[in-house]
Structure 1
Amino acid sequence: MAIPTVDLSPFFTNSDENWQKKAIDIIKKACSEYGFFQIVNHGVPLDLMSQAIQLSKTFFAFPYEEKLKYSPGSDAPLPAGYNEQPEKSPDKIECLLMFPPQSGFNILPTNPPHFRDVVEEMFTCFRKTGEVIEKILNDCLGLPPDFLKEYNQDRSWDFMVALRYFPATETENNGITEHEDGNCVTFVIQDEVGGLEVKKDGNWIPVVPTQGTIVVNLGDVIQVLSNNKFKSATHRVVRSKERSRHSFAFFFNLQGDKWVEPLPQFTQEIGEASKYKGFLFKDYQALRLRNKTHPPSRPEDAITITHYAIPKE
């Protein structure tokens, strides 16, 4: 069993409507069943992706004191830059958090050389790919033209993160535990170590790394807007026992003051009850952040989108 792979080239050239329709059908089926698919010919140069992974490996291999030069500091408005002292991270992860290049919040490394330029270019490419996927999802859901684009036109809340997962040990073989993303859409590239797994019908499907492929998963915002027509993808990362895992994740996000609730196209217009109460996106993000800063004693008590679910009568 594998997640489907979709060729996006027709959406960049507008040359083949039949193939566009086939791709839309594949994506629609994947999103309605489990919220995951992969894309090729996606507009992000392959050599750029390869450079980014290699430069991130170089950066994370530096001594902790060198990486700490790029930490955000206690007075930073956003935690951009290097985060996590690996031995204190429960998931044994360290990361480099990046916001839009023009945001002014970034603390991007000048060492190794060219790392800053590469990640800024990749950020821009991912944003463009996100806009293409957003349009495809708009068509998959049968929404009016550019509905999602107009709803989510503020790109200043997007962010990207470079991640290093440390090798598992005999006593600590965990990675990122089972979860869903709270945003709109997430794009992931991973090195040859792999470890990403997708949950479908109760089974975990390994996402085998393929050069040039980007993994796409839907987040909670799309699930709520579609009133569960599309699924927020359940996934996890399993750490390798031999090697560190390196990856990048780009979060196509939503502006914090946006109101999120099931759209009328999927509720009153078709006689369906809303499955979620409405909420401000920033409020939900604050609750999810608290899961990390003040972890509940039981994992099942962590706040997820079910916090806003309306109980069935």
Structure 2
Amino acid sequence: MVVTNKSEKEEKMLMPDSEREKELKAFDDTKLGVKGLVDAGINKVPCIFYHPPDKFKRVSELCNRDYTIPVIDLARVHEDPSEHKRVVEKVREASETWGFFQILNHGIPVSILDELINGVLRFFEQDSEVKKGFYSRDVGRFMYHSNYNLYTTAATCWRDSFYWKMAPGGAPKPEDLPAVSRDILLEYSNQVMKLGTLLFELLSEALGLDPTYLIDIGCADGLFGFSHYYPACPEPELTLGTQKHADLDFITVLLQDHIGGLQVLHQDMWIDVSPLPGALVVNIGDFLQLISNDKFKSAQHRVVANPIGPRVSSACFFSTGLNPTSRILGPIKELLSEDNPVKYRDVSIPDFIAHYSTKCLNGTSPLLHFRI
């Protein structure tokens, strides 16, 4: 009897929990991540990385129509009132229909973007023994690991990551950061904080609110980053770099290198977010969808594995979700009307994240649980 590749893959995904846990722990204990597997010369993807087939197709497989993530040029947003109005309208349209857009001329010099990419590469490609010293699963000012949800998700992703926190509480102490990336992480984080102010002003106006509204209610109070390293994958069809998910924050600002692999789910199709030189990707998070009462959309997205690599990206999340907080999320009262009734019940950020962590690791949106 001939067994198809798909059946073999699905059969291997059904390994006993005890066996899978043993393999996960063995992988975790190396403190070398996916890069360690690649450096060891593997030519097959281990079973713990297998992902089930996705029911959605890439747009390139379905039609010839060109779907392109909106690109917004911010060059003259402060200089020309008519241009400012045009940018606000583009932000509104992109946030309502895509939940994703790319920005150009955002104020962060290309030299800083390039140095951040290089800083991420330097960290992951430094001496293994030095890198191991940062390996942890305890959230602090800085930590390096592979797959933050290694023991709770159904399939492991083909990537390694490091986390750093900037706000609240101010910048980390220099000694808390790896020497090979220290200066650029501090500089880039400061630049993103400034950019976040502009983005929240534009998003506030796009909602028909005062420019400082989202900042005044605390949307820019928290910032943390995850930088990802996606090694070249010998069998990219079997795994994912990042599984399908939406972000638990207000907005995310992402820098990706030239390789690509990021896709957004739009109209039940996977659309590539093609890299643009000097651009940053901005996407709406679940918190902003909730407080905007569904006016803005938090889109699901993923990163496919790639035979070319390493791919590098760095995402900054505007959220206080990793800090002790009593913050309550609820639809903004000024947006509600008889024609636009409240769609979500109020929920604390810890309760929102707790529900996500226990019920939504299969890709289900936590927003569904809090809808009225």
TM range (shorter): 0.7 to 0.9
Identity between Structure 1 and Structure 2 (%): 28
Q: CA deviation at 1:65?
A: 2.6
Give the conservation status (yes or no) of the 8 Å contact 1:35–1:230.
yes
The Cα offsets for residues 45-102 of structure 1, whole Å up to 9 and x where unpaired, read as 1101101101211211234332121234x7x56373212279x781122111111173
- Per the normalisation by structure 1, the TM-score is 0.86
Q: Which amino acid aligns with 1:47?
A: S
- Per the normalisation by structure 2, the TM-score is 0.73
CA distance in 2, matches of 1:149, 1:55: 30
Q: Does 1:278 align with 2:346?
A: yes
CA distance in 1, matches of 2:172, 2:125: 26
Q: Does 1:306 align with 2:368?
A: yes
Question: Counterparts in 2 of 1:129-208, with a 5 A limit?
Answer: 129-152=195-218, 155=221, 157-170=222-235, 172-208=238-274
CA distance in 1, matches of 2:238, 2:219: 42
Give the conservation status (yes or no) of the 8 Å contact 2:140–2:165.
no
CA distance in 1, matches of 2:126, 2:349: 36
- From 189, 211, 229, the equivalent of 1:123 is 189
Q: CA deviation at 1:158?
A: 0.9
Larger Rg belongs to: 2
- From 65, 76, 92, the equivalent of 2:129 is 65
Give the conservation status (yes or no) of the 8 Å contact 2:162–2:226.
yes
Aligned to 1:263: 332
The Cα offsets for residues 187-230 of structure 1, whole Å up to 9 and x where unpaired, read as 11111111001121112111111111000000011111111111
Q: CA deviation at 1:153?
A: 6.0
Q: CA deviation at 1:288?
A: 3.1
CA distance in 2, matches of 1:77, 1:3: 33
Give the conservation status (yes or no) of the 8 Å contact 1:168–1:174.
no
Secondary structure at the aligned position of 2:240 is classed as coil
Aligned to 2:145: 83
Q: CA deviation at 1:303?
A: 5.9
- From 347, 351, 355, the equivalent of 1:287 is 355
* Consecutive unaligned residues in structure 1, runs of 5 or more: none
Secondary structure at the aligned position of 2:295 is classed as coil
Q: CA deviation at 1:244?
A: 2.1
CA distance in 2, matches of 1:196, 1:138: 27
Note closer, same or farther for the CA distance 1:38–1:153 as it changes in structure 2 (3 Å cut): closer
Q: Which amino acid aligns with 1:143?
A: L
Aligned to 2:27: none
CA distance in 2, matches of 1:303, 1:218: 14
Q: CA deviation at 1:154?
A: 6.0
* Consecutive unaligned residues in structure 2, runs of 5 or more: 1-66
Q: Which amino acid aligns with 2:187?
A: E
CA distance in 2, matches of 1:4, 1:118: 28
Q: Does 1:247 align with 2:316?
A: no
Give the conservation status (yes or no) of the 8 Å contact 2:157–2:242.
yes
Aligned to 1:226: 292
Give the conservation status (yes or no) of the 8 Å contact 1:259–1:279.
yes
Secondary structure at the aligned position of 2:189 is classed as helix
Secondary structure at the aligned position of 1:56 is classed as helix
Secondary structure at the aligned position of 1:177 is classed as strand
CA distance in 2, matches of 1:28, 1:117: 35
CA distance in 2, matches of 1:236, 1:252: 19
